[in-house]
């Protein structure tokens, strides 16, 4: 079973870890050597992810999974836990996302001139290994395990290299996320129990669920645990308060990886584990989830408008966009969930891009307070261009990947919850307001007095190469998917169509199966254009 | 004449069999203790080095032999030894290893501690060895007489060890408190045993026994008379006595002061070995004699679990003294372990292994932390505040890294051993349908993040308003190579056990 590509899959996890270990024992190395090792640690997973994703269509699949390999680490017989790796149609794009954002964040970090750079890179590499592992795991215990592996460096990095208020932000984030992680762990063990101790192997669990059904009340309880556990990790409204503060305090590369990739863990868990295994539970919790998601969109949207701190604004806007993804999942249809996965991919790229650019702005203005900026566009036109493009992407303008995600979510939402479309679309206007206002405040108009005073006698240049490369990597991803959504929607669509849970006959009463595939349909139209 | 005949008969019985061989590790430890005494007498100027070396090397040899024998001889063959006093099981074999390992590490910490103190050295090792031998016997006892004698040997050893720092009033205070409360708990335990003895020996009741302190006889008696009030009271009192050992609420009152006052190695000894001994006794009791009384033990221990987890975590929140933090958080760990015990009573066989595995992770995590604490402690051992750890990552990155791994494991953060230990306990709790207790345990874990992480935060995240001059006042901390190796080994085992559990998962 372990062929070359399966080996590559595990290497994508092992190489960053090995690089981290090399840095641990090579603290005395010169900075260039440390940077070189770290560079390999970030480049290899990205290259492997691209390669595996490129070959995904042709790869041999068992139960929808390609590149499978399994290793027993001592708990297979007692608890049914083993390191079981593979990619399916949903996890492949997200695995790619982790690779791309990891590369961009790694590049950003290598050039970040952080104090104690080797340790900084070491933690980031551990995080990267965890991220690659999360999406490559078929075993849901290891899925959780890798998430935690990536989470720990986040706390440490915020605590050591973070900005203002890092001590309390790191603490708040740790306590909050531990609560979320513990609830989801309980939920996952509960699944293990409810499936008659089948194990933690997702494929076996799915087979179990299709052969037997879990009692409704049990499904209700487990889904509740997972919804709130995962929800806290994804900053579902009213459990979001850790996210903006944490991101504002986090060092840039860390915020990129966490907001861009790690936060998708909870959403991915809902799409891949909770909904397929517990469809009845999902249906029962659905109305509440829609209300909470609308809370994310409208309530947090308005809060975002009120922000004057650029990084806090990016943090809040990221929380807000989670609302759309939750809405997509709440539709429980192929289109909605497919749109949610596309949006997860797109949002991961765009929020990472926003963090890169905010840091570039900070490097020039010396402040994140947007009231103390202005007129930067004259001095840094390219940066302004990038920033506006990133804003457009995160608002969801056509031509960027986000558009396809949001669009298909609205389409799917219209079918069962038409009333929720209006507030959701209102959210787009809200995000346009804060995005454009931010762009205007930073780049347009006359420089503010504070900015003039701060920048007096300093030459402010345009975006440097070190800042440009991660930005370009991310923008290419956004635009490529924006103009050719087929590239990622095919695998997602195939996977979701193959899942009986999302078939309309299971969850809603009136639809026909053919009506539920606008994601694929639009993909075709767009690729033709 | 009759007496001496009986005696001859008995001694022949013991001499002619190889029952004593089953106890060779305990006997070897006792001999080692005597050897340490002799070395102290005759080694002259070398004694400062020779005594700890002999104690540690001797135990390492016993440990190695025991480890090699583990699994080769089937303990089920040997059965009851010494007229039912001793019953070796796989569990008790593993716990022997556990106690030996803990004892080796305590001796190692003792070296670090005694280096900074003006105290006699030899007695410390001698007492540790004897206490460890008694702990091993405790794990195998299958008769209340044996249990009580072993337990008292342990406790009396601890009375001396806790007040070993005779120059420190805190140590003396701790010793006195431990003596008074330990004596009380012993009295309670003994009273319980006597009640059980009386009830089970009552000839008017069915299945009464002349040997009613024997676990097997008692189990049969309790199964036949589940509603005997006297036996019930006796059982509750015995459980109270054991709960004192593991520091479960409401018998936790001694913990903070004793842990703070006791020398750091003794604190570690109390935290790990004494607690583990309590749990092995508890496992033996609930699977043996108290098995038929599940209807009473489950609610009782469940209630204790809830209160213990919450009390330990909440009281640890406000502490600044790290020894008190370790003590109070240890109460919380006892609570998590009780979760496994309750599951065990409900008939989940894996639960015993979950408890043992958790104890091992607790051993490695705790000793990692105690190792760092021993390095940072000054001559006034009881004064170890969280503030002393400020900026440790800069002053001594190695210690800070090891501390982070140890605390992370105790807090239950993956990929460290403590996390897997907690997962094991949660799984067995699920198997026993203990949802309420699980909820409380989760809450406890989240609360515990706050104080463990707060401690780590002091070590890693320096204050922004740290005055420049103050940093230089702190003396640099030197870590010698052997200690470095020891701590690195503990930390590495903690990480490895989190990733690979081969052997443990299958119940050995």
Kindly report, residue by residue over B150-161, the tens digit of the pLDDT: 999 999 999 999
A73, A141, A179: residue with CB nearest B500: A73
Instruction: Tell me, yes or no, if A509 comes closer than 8 A to chain B by beta carbon.
Output: no
Based on the structure, what is the number of domains in chain A?
1
Chain-chain contact of A149 with B415 (C-beta, under 8 angstroms): yes
Mean pLDDT, chain A, rounded, equals 83
Q: How far apart are the CA of B263 and the nearest CA of chain A, in angstroms? A: 31
Beta-sheet strand order (sheet of A61-62): A61-62, A65-75, A81-87
Instruction: Tell me, yes or no, if A167 comes closer than 8 A to chain B by beta carbon.
Output: yes
Give contacts of A 185-224 with B, CB under 8 A: 185-186, 189-190, 192-193, 197
Reported confidence tier of residue B503, pLDDT bands at 50, 70, 90: low
Residue B343 confidence (pLDDT): 93
Give contacts of B 118-177 with A, CB under 8 A: none
Q: How far apart are the CA of A217 and the nearest CA of chain B, in angstroms? A: 14
Nearest chain A residue to B419, by CA: A145
Reported confidence tier of residue B469, pLDDT bands at 50, 70, 90: very low
Tens digit of each residue's pLDDT (9 = 90 or more) over B298-333 = 999 999 999 999 999 999 988 888 899 999 999 999
Question: Which contacts (CB < 8 Å, 24+ apart) does range B67-76 have?
Answer: B67/B97, B70/B94, B70/B97, B70/B508, B71/B508
Contact of A112 with A120, CB cutoff 8 Å: yes
Give the up-direction half-sphere exposure of residue A212: CA atoms within 13 A in the CB hemisphere. 10
Residue A284 confidence (pLDDT): 87
Range of the domain at A429: 286-529
- Is the pLDDT at B73 greater than 80? The verdict is no
Chain-chain contact of B442 with A183 (C-beta, under 8 angstroms): yes
How many residue pairs from chains A and B have C-beta atoms closer than 8 A? 84
Chain B residue numbers touching A183 (CB-CB < 8 A): 442
Q: Is A444 helix (H, G, I), strand (E, B) or coil?
A: coil
What is the mean pLDDT of the segment spanning B3-31? 75
**Burial of residue B3 (number of CB atoms within 10 Å: 0-12, 13-18, 19+):** exposed
Give contacts of B 348-387 with A, CB under 8 A: 350
Contact of B128 with B161, CB cutoff 8 Å: yes
Chain A residue numbers touching B442 (CB-CB < 8 A): 179, 182-183, 186
Q: Is B318 helix (H, G, I), strand (E, B) or coil?
A: coil
Q: How far apart are the CA of B412 and the nearest CA of chain A, in angstroms? A: 10
Identify the residue with better confidence: A6 or B367. B367
What ipTM was reported for this prediction? 0.82
Residue B270 confidence (pLDDT): 92
Chain-chain contact of B430 with A156 (C-beta, under 8 angstroms): no
Residue B12 confidence (pLDDT): 66
Instruction: Tell me, yes or no, if A175 comes closer than 8 A to chain B by beta carbon.
Output: yes
Chain-chain contact of A193 with B430 (C-beta, under 8 angstroms): yes
Residue B454 confidence (pLDDT): 84
- Is the pLDDT at A237 greater than 50? The verdict is yes
What is the mean pLDDT of the segment spanning B402-415? 88
- Is the pLDDT at A246 greater than 50? The verdict is yes
Residue A55 resides in a domain = no
Residue B269 confidence (pLDDT): 93
Tens digit of each residue's pLDDT (9 = 90 or more) over B102-128 = 999 999 999 888 888 888 888 899 999
Q: How far apart are the CA of A6 and the nearest CA of chain B, in angstroms? A: 20
- Is the pLDDT at A527 greater than 70? The verdict is no
For the ranges A131-145, B283-297, B446-460, B468-482, the lowest mean pLDDT is seen at: B468-482
What value, to the nearest 5°, has the Cα angle with vertex B107 and ends B105 and B108?
Answer: 60
Domain boundaries, chain B: 21-499
Nearest to B243 by CA among B337, B319, B348, B144: B337
Identify the residue with better confidence: B236 or A216. B236
Reported confidence tier of residue A504, pLDDT bands at 50, 70, 90: low
Instruction: Tell me, yes or no, if B508 comes closer than 8 A to chain A by beta carbon.
Output: no
**Alpha helix (H) ranges present in A252-396?**
252-257, 264-269, 275-277, 279-294, 300-305, 310-331, 334-365, 376-379, 381-395
Chain-chain contact of A189 with B427 (C-beta, under 8 angstroms): yes
Nearest chain B residue to A188, by CA: B427
Mean pLDDT, chain B, rounded, equals 85
* Residue linked to tokens 């009552």: B202
Considering chain A, what percentage of its residues have pLDDT values greater than 90?
Answer: 14
Chain-chain contact of B415 with A73 (C-beta, under 8 angstroms): no
- Is the pLDDT at B472 greater than 60? The verdict is no
Distance, CA of B398 to chain centre: 27
Residue B15 confidence (pLDDT): 61
Distance in angstroms (rounded) separating the CA atoms of residues A12 and A157: 22
Nearest to B326 by CA among B265, B375, B377, B370: B370
For the ranges A171-175, A407-411, B75-79, B162-166, the lowest mean pLDDT is seen at: B75-79
Residue B441 confidence (pLDDT): 92
Distance, CA of A83 to chain centre: 23
Residue A335 resides in a domain = yes
Chain-chain contact of B442 with A73 (C-beta, under 8 angstroms): no
Residue A523 confidence (pLDDT): 42
Chain B residue numbers touching A156 (CB-CB < 8 A): 460
Chain-chain contact of B415 with A179 (C-beta, under 8 angstroms): no
For the ranges A277-291, A511-525, B213-227, B241-255, the lowest mean pLDDT is seen at: A511-525
Distance in angstroms (rounded) separating the CA atoms of residues A157 and A167: 11
Chain A residue numbers touching B431 (CB-CB < 8 A): 193, 197
For the ranges A395-399, B83-87, B335-339, the lowest mean pLDDT is seen at: B83-87
Nearest to B107 by CA among B51, B157, B159: B51
- Is the pLDDT at B75 greater than 80? The verdict is no
What is the mean pLDDT of the segment spanning A388-401? 88
Chain-chain contact of A171 with B454 (C-beta, under 8 angstroms): yes
**Burial of residue B181 (number of CB atoms within 10 Å: 0-12, 13-18, 19+):** middle
Chain-chain contact of A167 with B461 (C-beta, under 8 angstroms): yes
Could you tell me how many helices (H) and strands (E) chain B has, helices first? 23, 0
Nearest to B414 by CA among B313, B501, B324: B501
Residue A384 resides in a domain = yes
Distance in angstroms (rounded) separating the CA atoms of residues B289 and B27: 28
Q: Report helix, strand and coil shares of chain B as percent, to nearest 5.
A: 75, 0, 20
Please, which residues have CB within 8 angstroms of residue B80's CB and are 6 or more apart in sequence?
Answer: B86, B87, B142, B216
Tens digit of each residue's pLDDT (9 = 90 or more) over A436-487 = 888 888 888 777 777 777 777 677 777 788 788 888 888 988 888 888 888 8
Residue A445 resides in a domain = yes
What is the mean pLDDT of the segment spanning A282-287? 88
Cα separations in angstroms, A7 against A62, A66, B219: 17, 12, 55
Residue A78 resides in a domain = no
What is the mean pLDDT of the segment spanning B194-211? 85
Copy the structure tokens of residue A5.
């590509």
Residue A512 confidence (pLDDT): 38
Tens digit of each residue's pLDDT (9 = 90 or more) over B226-278 = 888 898 999 999 999 999 988 888 888 899 999 999 999 999 999 999 999 99
Chain-chain contact of B427 with A186 (C-beta, under 8 angstroms): no
Residue A366 resides in a domain = yes
Pick among A26, A144, A167, A196 to test the B interface (most B CBs inside 10 A)? A167
Give contacts of B 418-437 with A, CB under 8 A: 419, 423-424, 426-427, 430-431
Distance in angstroms (rounded) separating the CA atoms of residues A124 and A258: 10
Residue A522 confidence (pLDDT): 45
Pick among B444, B457, B465 to test the A interface (most A CBs inside 10 A)? B457
**Burial of residue A510 (number of CB atoms within 10 Å: 0-12, 13-18, 19+):** exposed
Distance in angstroms (rounded) separating the CA atoms of residues A476 and B88: 68
Chain-chain contact of B442 with A77 (C-beta, under 8 angstroms): no
Q: Is A309 helix (H, G, I), strand (E, B) or coil?
A: strand
Chain-chain contact of A185 with B413 (C-beta, under 8 angstroms): no
Please, which residues have CB within 8 angstroms of residue A278's CB and are 6 or more apart in sequence?
Answer: A191, A214, A219, A222, A223, A226
* Residue linked to tokens 């109305």: A287
Q: How far apart are the CA of B334 and the nearest CA of chain A, in angstroms? A: 19
Q: What is the DSSP string of A216-267?
A: HHHHHHHHHHHHHHHHHHTT-TTS-THHHHHHHHS-HHHHHHIIIIITHHHH
Chain-chain contact of A185 with B426 (C-beta, under 8 angstroms): yes
Considering chain A, what percentage of its residues have pLDDT values greater than 70?
Answer: 94
Distance in angstroms (rounded) separating the CA atoms of residues B183 and B162: 14
Contact of B23 with B150, CB cutoff 8 Å: no
Q: How far apart are the CA of B40 and the nearest CA of chain A, in angstroms? A: 42
Instruction: Tell me, yes or no, if A400 comes closer than 8 A to chain B by beta carbon.
Output: no
Chain-chain contact of B413 with A148 (C-beta, under 8 angstroms): yes
Please, which residues have CB within 8 angstroms of residue B366's CB and are 6 or more apart in sequence?
Answer: B268, B271, B272, B326, B330, B406, B410
Residue A460 resides in a domain = yes
Chain A residue numbers touching B419 (CB-CB < 8 A): 148
What is the mean pLDDT of the segment spanning B370-384? 85
Chain-chain contact of B506 with A77 (C-beta, under 8 angstroms): yes
B445, B505, B507: residue with CB nearest A182: B445
What is the mean pLDDT of the segment spanning A498-514? 53
- Is the pLDDT at B471 greater than 80? The verdict is no
Residue B506 confidence (pLDDT): 45
What is the mean pLDDT of the segment spanning B204-233? 86
Neighbours of B44 (CB within 10 A): 9
Q: Is B381 helix (H, G, I), strand (E, B) or coil?
A: coil
Record the pTM: 0.88
Give the up-direction half-sphere exposure of residue B310: CA atoms within 13 A in the CB hemisphere. 12
Chain B residue numbers touching A191 (CB-CB < 8 A): none
Nearest chain B residue to A82, by CA: B500
Cα distance between the two ends of chain B: 50
Give the up-direction half-sphere exposure of residue A66: CA atoms within 13 A in the CB hemisphere. 22
Chain-chain contact of A75 with B430 (C-beta, under 8 angstroms): no
Residue B473 confidence (pLDDT): 52
Cα separations in angstroms, B204 against A281, A487, B224, B231: 58, 85, 13, 14
Residue A73 confidence (pLDDT): 75
Pick among A17, A126, A139, A182 to test the B interface (most B CBs inside 10 A)? A182
Residue A473 resides in a domain = yes
Residue A447 confidence (pLDDT): 77
Chain A residue numbers touching B507 (CB-CB < 8 A): 78
Identify the residue with better confidence: B380 or A356. A356
Nearest to B499 by CA among A179, A71, A99: A71
């Amino acid at each position: 079973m372990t062929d070359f590509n399966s080996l590559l899959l595990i290497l994508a996890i092992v190489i960053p870890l090995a690089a981290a270990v090399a840095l641990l024992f090579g603290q005395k190395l010169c900075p260039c050597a440390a940077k070189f090792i770290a560079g390999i640690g970030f480049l290899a997973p990205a290259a492997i992810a691209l390669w595996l994703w490129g070959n995904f269509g042709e790869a041999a699949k068992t139960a929808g999974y390609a590149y499978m390999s399994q290793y027993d680490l001592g708990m297979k017989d007692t608890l049914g836990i083993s390191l079981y790796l593979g990619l399916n149609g949903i996890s492949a794009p997200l695995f790619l996302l982790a690779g791309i954002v990891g590369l961009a964040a790694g590049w950003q970090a290598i050039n970040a001139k952080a104090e104690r750079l080797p340790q900084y890179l070491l933690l980031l590499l551990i995080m990267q290994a965890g991220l690659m592992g999360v999406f490559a795991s078929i075993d849901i215990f290891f899925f959780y395990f890798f998430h935690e592996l990536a989470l720990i460096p986040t706390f440490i990095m915020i605590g050591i290299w973070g900005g203002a208020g890092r001590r309390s932000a790191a603490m708040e984030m740790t306590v909050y996320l531990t609560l979320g992680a513990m609830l989801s762990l309980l939920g996952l063990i509960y699944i293990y129990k409810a499936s008659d101790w089948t194990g933690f192997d997702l494929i076996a669990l799915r087979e179990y669920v299709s052969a037997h059904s879990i009692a409704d009340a049990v499904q209700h309880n487990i889904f509740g645990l997972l919804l709130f556990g995962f929800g806290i990790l994804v900053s579902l409204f009213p459990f979001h308060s850790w996210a903006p503060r944490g991101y504002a305090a986090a060092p840039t590369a860390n915020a990129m990886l966490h907001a861009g990739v790690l936060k998708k863990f909870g959403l991915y868990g809902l799409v891949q584990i909770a909904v397929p295994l517990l469809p009845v539970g999902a249906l029962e919790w659905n109305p509440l989830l829609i209300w909470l998601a609308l809370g994310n969109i409208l309530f947090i949207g308005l809060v975002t408008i009120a922000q004057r701190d650029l990084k806090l604004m990016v943090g809040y806007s990221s929380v807000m966009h989670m609302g759309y993804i939750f809405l997509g999942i709440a539709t429980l249809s192929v289109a909605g969930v497919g749109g949610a996965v596309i949006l997860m991919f797109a949002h991961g790229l765009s929020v990472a891009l926003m963090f890169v650019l905010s840091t570039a702005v900070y490097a020039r203005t010396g402040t994140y307070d947007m009231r103390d900026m202005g007129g930067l566009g004259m001095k840094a036109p390219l940066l302004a261009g990038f920033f506006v493009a990133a804003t457009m992407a995160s608002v969801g303008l056509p031509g960027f990947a986000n558009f396809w995600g949001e669009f298909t979510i609205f389409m799917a939402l219209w079918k069962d919850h038409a009333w929720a479309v209006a507030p959701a679309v209102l959210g787009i206007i809200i995000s346009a307001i804060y995005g454009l206002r931010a762009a205007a405040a930073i780049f347009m108009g006359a420089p503010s007095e504070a900015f003039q005073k701060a920048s007096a006698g300093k030459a402010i240049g345009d975006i440097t190469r070190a800042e440009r490369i991660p930005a370009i990597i991310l923008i290419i991803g956004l635009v490529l998917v924006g103009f050719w959504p087929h590239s990622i929607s095919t695998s997602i669509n195939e996977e979701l169509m193959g899942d009986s849970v999302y078939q309309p006959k299971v969850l809603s009463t009136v639809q026909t199966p053919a009506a539920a595939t606008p994601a694929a349909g639009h993909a075709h139209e767009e690729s033709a254009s | 004449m009759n007496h001496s005949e009986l005696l001859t008969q008995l001694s022949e019985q013991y001499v002619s069999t190889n029952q004593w061989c089953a106890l060779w590790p305990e006997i070897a430890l006792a001999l080692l203790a005597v050897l340490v005494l002799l070395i102290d007498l005759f080694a002259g100027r070398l004694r400062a080095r020779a005594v700890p070396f002999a104690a540690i090397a001797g135990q390492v040899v016993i440990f190695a032999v025991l480890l090699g024998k583990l699994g080769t001889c089937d303990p089920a063959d040997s059965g009851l030894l010494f007229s039912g006093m001793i019953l070796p099981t796989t569990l008790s074999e593993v716990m022997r290893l556990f106690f030996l390992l803990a004892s080796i590490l305590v001796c190692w910490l003792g070296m670090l501690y005694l280096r900074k103190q003006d105290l006699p050295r030899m007695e410390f090792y001698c007492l540790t060895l004897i206490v460890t031998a008694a702990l091993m016997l405790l794990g195998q006892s299958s008769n209340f007489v044996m249990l009580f004698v072993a337990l008292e040997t342990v406790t009396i050893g601890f009375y001396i060890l806790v007040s070993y720092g005779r120059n420190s009033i805190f140590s003396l205070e701790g010793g006195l408190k431990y003596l008074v409360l330990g004596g009380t708990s012993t009295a309670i335990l003994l009273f319980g045993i006597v009640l059980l003895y009386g009830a089970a020996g009552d000839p008017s009741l069915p299945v009464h026994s002349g040997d009613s302190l024997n676990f097997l006889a008692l189990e049969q008696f309790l199964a036949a008379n589940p509603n005997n009030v006297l036996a019930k009271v006796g059982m509750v009192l015995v459980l109270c006595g054991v709960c004192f050992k593991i520091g479960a609420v409401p018998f936790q009152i001694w913990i903070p002061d004793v842990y703070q006052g006791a020398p750091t190695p003794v604190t570690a000894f109390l935290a790990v070995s004494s607690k583990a001994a309590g749990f092995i006794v508890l496992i033996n009791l609930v699977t043996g004699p108290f098995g038929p009384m599940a209807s009473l033990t489950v609610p009782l221990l469940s209630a204790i679990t809830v209160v213990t987890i919450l009390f330990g975590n909440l009281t640890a929140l406000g502490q600044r003294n790290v020894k008190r933090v370790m003590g109070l958080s240890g109460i919380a760990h006892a609570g998590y372990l009780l979760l496994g015990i309750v599951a065990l009573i409900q008939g989940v066989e894996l639960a015993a292994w979950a408890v043992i595995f958790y104890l091992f992770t607790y051993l490695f995590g705790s000793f990692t932390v105690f190792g760092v604490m021993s390095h940072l402690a000054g001559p006034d051992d009881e004064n170890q505040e969280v503030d002393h750890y400020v900026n440790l990552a800069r002053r001594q990155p190695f210690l800070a890294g090891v501390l982070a791994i140890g605390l992370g494991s105790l807090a239950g953060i993956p990929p460290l051993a403590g996390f897997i230990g907690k997962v094991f306990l949660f799984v067995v709790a699920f198997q026993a349908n203990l949802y309420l207790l699980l909820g409380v345990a989760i809450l406890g874990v989240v609360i515990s993040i706050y104080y463990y992480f707060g401690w780590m935060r002091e070590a890693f995240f320096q204050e922004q308003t740290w005055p420049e001059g103050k940093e230089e006042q702190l003396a640099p901390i030197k870590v010698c190579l052997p200690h470095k190796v020891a701590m690195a080994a503990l930390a590495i085992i903690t990480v490895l056990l989190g990733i690979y559990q081969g052997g443990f998962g299958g119940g050995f």
